Amino acid sequence: MSNTQENTTHFGFKTVEEDRKADLVAEVFHSVATKYDVMNDVLSMGIHRVWKRFTIDCSGIRKGQKALDLAGGTGDLTAKFSRIVGKTGHVVLADINDSMLKVGRSKLRDMGIVDNVDYIQANAEELPFPDNHFDLVTIAFGLRNVTDKDKALASIYRVLKPGGRLLVLEFSKPLYRPLSKFYDFYSFNILPKLGKLIANDSESYRYLAESIRMHPNQDTLKEMMNNVGFEDSEYFNLTAGIVALHRGYKY
């Protein structure tokens, strides 16, 4: 195998050099940041809100705890966590992309959330937090974009307290063939067009569709979590496997 091949990774269906993927992903999210929330609602027909609610129910988060909303983007989960953990708790919204962070911060400020949230620009692969620090880490629709997923999972494991949980909410493999067919059609034909129409950016949404296809399926991701030390890992298929929520514990 030649050297060039060893240092490449996926950017959607394209193969790119590893150190370029982060930049390319950054470009995608810089360009969609301001339209991100609207697009989420339109493209998922609002269903992403139900997926996120399910995530919160599985999180075990409670008053006084510390949570990290990794790749938190515009902060949907952070907002909920902030209200649940209350004054005695703390939430960190971390994202690699400062455009997304800015949109997130001003959205949460407008909602009146100020006291217990910090905004930190960070790469999931190298989290700038001490060991055993958080009761909960969530990464919603973010892991797909990370270049070295194993490294990110290991880094999350490190910052979790013993007894803490990781929740990964991510697109996954649909359970039924006909659904897959429809879903493919939607993702490759309709989604980029909607992206063009609303955010004037079809490329980013083509990347979205492609990156979903390249993401590890349910069992592979569970295996990856176990490999870095998570225990009792399990997953829940949502909307027939279009999305899966993985949960693992650090003991």
Partner 1 sequence: MPLDNLLCGLLETGVNKLHQLDSSAQQRRKMLDGVIIAVTLKELNKPLYFVISKQQIDILAKYEGQADCFIRLNLSALKELQNNHQLTRLIKSEQLEVEGDIQLVQQFAQLLTEMDIDWEEFLSSKVGDVLAHKFCYHAKQCQQGLSQQLKKIEKHSAQFITEELKLAPGPLQVAYFCEQVSELEKQCLQLEARIAQRLQKI
Ligand X SMILES: C[S@@+](CC[C@H](N)C(=O)[O-])C[C@H]1O[C@@H](n2cnc3c(N)ncnc32)[C@H](O)[C@@H]1O
Give residues in contact with ligand X (CB under 6 A): 25, 29, 71-74, 76, 95-97, 100, 123-125, 140-142, 145-146
Binding mask 40-69 for partner 1 (x = CB under 8 A): ---------xxx-xx-xxx-xxxx------
Of 8, 44, 218, 239, the residue at the interface with partner 1 (CB under 8 A) is 239
Cα 153-154-159 angle, rounded to 5 deg: 100
Number of helical (H) and strand (E) elements in the chain, helices listed first: 11, 9
Token couple for 117:
């949230």
Backbone angles phi, psi at 44, to 5 degrees: -100, 5
Binding mask 88-127 for partner 1 (x = CB under 8 A): -----------------------xxx--------------
Binding mask 71-90 for partner 1 (x = CB under 8 A): ---------x--xx-xx---
Q: Which is nearer to ligand X, 76 or 201 (CB)?
A: 76
Task: Give the C-alpha separation, 129 to 44, whole Å.
Answer: 33
Is the CB of residue 119 less than 8 Å from the CB of residue 102?
A: no
Residue number of the CB closest to ligand X reads 73
Matching residue, tokens 């370029």: 20
Task: Give the C-alpha separation, 142 to 128, whole Å.
Answer: 17
Please state the closest distance from residue 79 (CB atom) to partner 1, in A. Answer: 8
Task: Give the C-alpha separation, 76 to 63, whole Å.
Answer: 18
- Chain residues in the site for partner 1 (CB under 8 A): 49-51, 53-54, 56-58, 60-63, 80, 83-84, 86-87, 111-113, 236, 238-239
